[in-house]
Amino acid sequence: MLHGQRVVVVMPAFRAEKTLDACYRAIPHDVVDMVLLVDDASDDATLAVAERLGIPTVRHAINAGYGANQKTCYMEALKAGADIVVMVHPDYQYEPRLITALVSLVASGVYDVAIGSRMLGKTALAGGMPRYKYIANRLLTGIQNVMCGARLSEYHTGFRAFSRRVLETLPLGANSSDFLFDNQMLVQALAFGMRIGEVSCPARYFEGASQISFRRSVVYGLGVLRTSVAYRLWRWRLAAPRIFSAQPELKLTHPAIVGTARVAP
């Protein structure tokens, strides 16, 4: 808990048996009130490791995708009474010890969203990020900043903290069930006037850390460009994309969305 606010860490997991233990132990448990793991139908020992560590876990009955995993993560965190929710990948690619810094930005009331950026401090390449991914990240970020009128150092980090209001306001039910979810969520936050702060965060690239293939990276990049164009058309009032809709049925707190969580005990 920080400044009287309940902090819940969510871990969207898929085949994380080799890294989950180290990642969990690096979490600052003096600040974090609860850790939740959502397993996306892993076919390894992720569940066994989570059970050994005593992490409350929800399991998708089928592999639903990274975005779908996050939707379940945030719904479960809201049900657990979270005031601030931090997403940490259990592959230990990001530095969990920086959770306190992210939470502080949100708990202070200065920011609604805080992200751990690999581009601040020039640690991405030093941490092993493939050069083509680094170049693509910088290029796509530059394009999105122009299209969205923002100045973020990156839109593609998987290390984030959100206030409860953000998760209850954004139409996350309209987002992709795949990797594009992350990017759509940040652009939605900009569209809804949420304040976004950044913290420099080193990242580790090693065997066992999750990485998407080149083909899926290309698909993701094209999705980022579509999201950017959709935002600009929405801002010009030339289109009404669902991801920028204020319709209650697209919010995670709506019964219709909650009911779509495909999970097993």
pLDDT in tens, 30-47: 999 999 999 999 999 999
Range of the domain at 108: 7-256
What local confidence, expressed as pLDDT, does residue 161 receive?
A: 98
Spatial separation of the C-alpha atoms in residues 188 and 170, rounded to whole Å: 7
Name 197's bridge partners: 114
What local confidence, expressed as pLDDT, does residue 60 receive?
A: 92
Spatial separation of the C-alpha atoms in residues 91 and 52, rounded to whole Å: 17
Q: Is residue 265 part of a domain?
A: no
Q: Is residue 174 part of a domain?
A: yes
Tell if the pTM clears 0.75, that is, is over it. Answer: yes
**Mean pLDDT, residues 10-28:** 95
Q: Is residue 1 part of a domain?
A: no
Mean pLDDT for the chain? 90
Lowest-pLDDT range, 69-73, 127-131, 225-229? Answer: 127-131
264 band by pLDDT with thresholds 50, 70 and 90: very low
| DSSP one-letter string for 34-63 | EEEEEE-S-SSSHHHHHHHHT--EEEESS-
Q: Is residue 261 part of a domain?
A: no
Q: Is residue 65 part of a domain?
A: yes
253 band by pLDDT with thresholds 50, 70 and 90: confident
Give the CATH number of the domain where residue 50 resides.
Answer: 3.90.550.10
CB-CB contact of 205 with 94 (8 Å):
no
| DSSP one-letter string for 218-238 | HHHHHHHHHHHHHHHHHHTTS
Q: Is residue 34 part of a domain?
A: yes
What local confidence, expressed as pLDDT, does residue 262 receive?
A: 45
> Under 8 Å CB-to-CB from 189, ≥6 apart: which residues?
112, 113, 166, 170, 196
Q: Is residue 2 part of a domain?
A: no
DSSP run (H or E) holding 87: strand 84-87
**Mean pLDDT, residues 92-108:** 95
Question: Does residue 265 carry a pLDDT above 50?
Answer: no
> Under 8 Å CB-to-CB from 162, ≥6 apart: which residues?
74, 84, 85, 86, 87, 106, 112, 113
What local confidence, expressed as pLDDT, does residue 214 receive?
A: 72
68 band by pLDDT with thresholds 50, 70 and 90: very high
**Mean pLDDT, residues 69-85:** 95
Question: Does residue 234 carry a pLDDT above 90?
Answer: yes
208 band by pLDDT with thresholds 50, 70 and 90: low
**Mean pLDDT, residues 1-22:** 93
What local confidence, expressed as pLDDT, does residue 215 receive?
A: 78
Question: Does residue 130 carry a pLDDT above 70?
Answer: yes
Residue at 88: amino acid letter: V
Exposure b/e, 163-178, CB count within 10 A at least 16 = b: bbebbebbbbbbbbeb
Q: Is residue 222 part of a domain?
A: yes
**Mean pLDDT, residues 255-263:** 55
Number of domains in the chain: 1
Question: Does residue 84 carry a pLDDT above 70?
Answer: yes
